[in-house]
A and B are shown apart, each in its own frame.
Chain A
Amino acid sequence: MIHSTFSKGGIHPAACKTTLSGIEALPLPRRAVVPLQQHIGAPARPIVAKGDSVRRGQLIAEAPYAMSAAVHAPVSGTVAALEDALMPDGRRRPCIVITADEATHDADETERMRYWLAIDSMATPDVDADTIKRRVARAGIVGMGGATFPSAIKLAPRDKVDLLIINGCECEPFLTCDDALMRAYPAKIIAGVQMMMKATAIDRAVIAIEDNKPEAAAALAAHAVSAAGVEVKILRTKYPQGGERQLIDAVSGRKVPSGAIPSAVGVIVHNVATAFAVWQAVSTDMPLIERVISISGDIPADQRRNYRAAIGTPFAEIPFTLPPDADTKIILGGPMMGKCTVTLDAPVTKGTSGITVLTDARRQPLMPCIRCGACVDACPMGLEPYLLETYGRLRRWDDARAADVADCIECGSCSWSCPSRRPLLDYIRRAKNRCRQR
């Protein structure tokens, strides 16, 4: 059977999804570095001071602003500092640093193990829409596909919406964290989806999964049978299917107009991991203090795993050996949209989907554009990347704006497809950023 996919452009990078199955618990960190801004919007406001003792799951920074998300303590312990700590891009951002002592650490681990062992038998309560929204906001849930948009805001759409799409595509190569989650907790994800439907008063939800994840699709489909209005749709694998606009097109055929948000065409898109986090928050009152991350790439095969990691865990505590190659790049997220991290001291945040280690990833010398049009074929937004690159390079910002540079979703399909290895996205992003400023 030929499955549907989005209409314009797209590429087929090698999937490289070779992580071992299952989710392993990464030990809780002795020293957790929790950034105040792990989401789009205003940073959360800390409500603890240096020296305070906090419990695991306790609110440590509130979100009193229109767009923000609350932050909770991932470990019990003492607030060691409120300071600017190193982020993956090398910049320093305000963080709350919590240090755990031996006793609290062991107690936390026991409690955590009990929770995850018992999760399958935990019941899903019947609560009303307002309670769901309130609990989601209280738990500090943000979009876990990487965009980190505060979920509570998305659950209260202003437009009339009639379709909820749950993104289980995971189109980035290497990453398997969503796949692992879907295989491990299909019933809870479906229950989370039903909660989202209730909160937004939508009676139809589609869980979209690419056809390279048949086990996850089968697991979810088996549980979706008994859930009214929830269906699982298998899509033909193509990058960037997980892009919001591409996914809406692939699932429903609706086209989101330029500059508009999905609710303009009556759709809301959430990630599967967000659905699971919603279930956890509503049913078990568990704030977002842990997430699944994928460690993959050019590391020994038995180290390519999915971990359940506490937010604030430094990357250095994740067990993987870096190859000795000097040109190794440690990429946060997948290779297509991820960014290199300059330090392993930076912490796991709500939006961290994983780490991809690539050797031999140094940029190749570039050659002139041969006007082959490969980038135009690849662009999922129907833009002309070669033209936008030229405008970006020559600083013709007005021309770039007229050529719809603002529509670029920065998926990197153009750079991937270029036979001359031109840095198309770099220059397009430069033009996009400049046009946004002016």
Chain B
Amino acid sequence: MQVVLYSILILGAIGCIGAVVLFFTARRFEVKEDPRIDQVASLLAGANCGGCGFSGCRAFATEAVRRGNLKDINCPVSSADTMARIALILGCTVEVAQRNIAVLRCNGSCQARPQPYAYDGVRSCAVMDAAGVGESACAFGCLGCGDCVEVCRFGALSLDTATGLPVVDPDRCTACGACIAECPRHLLELRPTGRNDRRVWVACASRDRGAVARRICPSACIGCRKCEKACRFGAIDVADNLSYITAADCRACGACVSECPTGAILASFPIRNQSNDPQHIQ
């Protein structure tokens, strides 16, 4: 009995001394962290995708709280609602950021584009690109191995087995930019959306001369400048045999889409008077 009593007393005494030491140590070395950082971080997605330009979600939260506002920083993944709640915590207003969605600047599906070369190496776009031009003769187009699909953490990309091209799910795309960094041919582009999330873009990156480009791929941009002339807003420029639509000037009217002789311009919405097959409308 006595043994038990002594044990309890000694251990209790050690415990008390320890508690006192820990109490003062904790006071002495206390790190004061703004509780809002935790609150902001808990609202973020937690995927640490790096789309905001910081190393992860917590780094973004820390920076947001340090600044005290959401000016010039934005989490592309979070919805407008989430950003509004973060702004509420920070006590500032949120400026509605332009929503971006990734688009593929290639429309050379494996049905349309001849595949004169065989490739038997690793099915990775980066490896295939390092080995040469790929299975089709186009040195600029999509290689179709799905490196972008592998790096998308939001399930917004999938490979279409029929066309061999990746497809962007606009509802899931958060514009984090992971696929853009991954594509060895820089074919994915973040495009700001217009009214009703409308987007119009040139789905080709070929800088080959028109005749060569057309021989390699029937849906290539041949630099004919028809779209440039059709655009009433001066949003389209043709350089290096390739057309490009500047998103800031584009009103997403779709006039260029029906004008393109090769169907190289795609729109996210149905175009009236378009003679091309519905495959061009995503």
Interface residues of A (CB under 8 A from B): 84, 88-92, 339-340, 342, 362-363, 395, 423, 426-427, 429-430, 433-434
Contacts and interface: CB of A to CB of B under 8 A. Distances in A.
A91 B133 contact: yes
A340 B132 CA distance: 8
5 contacts: A84-B212, A92-B208, A423-B121, A426-B124, A434-B126
Interface of B: 116-117, 120-122, 124, 126-127, 130-134, 137, 139, 150-151, 208-209, 212
A90 B209 contact: no
Given A90-B137, A427-B127, A430-B126, A84 B120 contact: no
A205 B24 CA distance: 74
A266 B194 CA distance: 62
B126 A433 contact: yes
Contact of A342 (B121, B132, B209): B132
A395 B150 CA distance: 10
A88 B139 CA distance: 12
Contacts of A427: 122, 124, 127
Nearest to A364: B120
A92 B140 CA distance: 11
Contacts of A395: 150-151
A426 B134 contact: no
Contacts of B116: 342
Contacts of B139: 90-92
Given A88-B132, A89-B133, A423-B121, 6 more contacts: A84-B212, A92-B212, A340-B132, A426-B127, A427-B122, A429-B130
A433 B124 CA distance: 13
Contacts of A362: 120
Contacts of B120: 362-363
A90 B134 contact: yes
* Listed residue (A362, A363, A426) with the most chain B CB atoms within 10 angstroms of its CB: A426
Contacts of B134: 90
Interface of B is mostly: loop
B122 A89 contact: no
A92 B213 CA distance: 11
B133 A423 contact: no
B117 A342 contact: yes
Nearest to B116: A342
A363 B130 CA distance: 17
B127 A339 contact: no
Contacts of A91: 132-133, 139
Given A91-B139, A342-B133, A426 B121 contact: yes
A118 B117 CA distance: 45
Of the candidates A339, A340, A363, A423, the one having the most CB atoms from chain B within 10 angstroms of its own CB is A340
A87 to B, nearest CB: 9
Given A430-B127, A434-B126, A84 B209 contact: yes
Contacts of B209: 84
A90 B117 contact: yes
A192 to B, nearest CB: 34
Contacts of B126: 430, 433-434
Contact of A340 (B122, B131, B150, B212): B131
Which interface residue of B120, B208, B212 has the most chain A CB atoms within 10 A?
B120
Contacts of B131: 89, 339-340
Given A84-B208, A340-B132, A423 B117 contact: no
A429 B121 CA distance: 13
Nearest to A423: B122
B196 to A, nearest CB: 35
A431 to B, nearest CB: 9
A423 B134 CA distance: 17
Contact of A430 (B130, B132, B208): B130
Nearest to B208: A92
B132 to A, nearest CB: 4
Contacts of A363: 120-121
A6 to B, nearest CB: 26
Nearest to B128: A426
A91 to B, nearest CB: 4
B136 to A, nearest CB: 9
Contacts of B150: 395
A-B pairs, 5 with minimum CB distance: A90-B133, A89-B132, A91-B139, A426-B122, A430-B126
Contacts of B212: 84, 92
Nearest to B137: A90
Nearest to B178: A395
B79 to A, nearest CB: 27
Contacts of B137: 90, 342
Contacts of B124: 426-427, 430
- Most chain-B Cβ atoms within 10 A of its Cβ — which of A91, A423, A427, A434? A91
Nearest to A422: B122
Contacts of B132: 88-91, 339-340, 342
B217 to A, nearest CB: 13
B146 to A, nearest CB: 13
A12 to B, nearest CB: 24
A315 B130 CA distance: 22
A340 B134 CA distance: 11
A434 B126 CA distance: 9
B145 to A, nearest CB: 11
A411 to B, nearest CB: 15
Contact of A429 (B127, B133, B208): B127
A91 B208 CA distance: 10
A430 B130 CA distance: 8
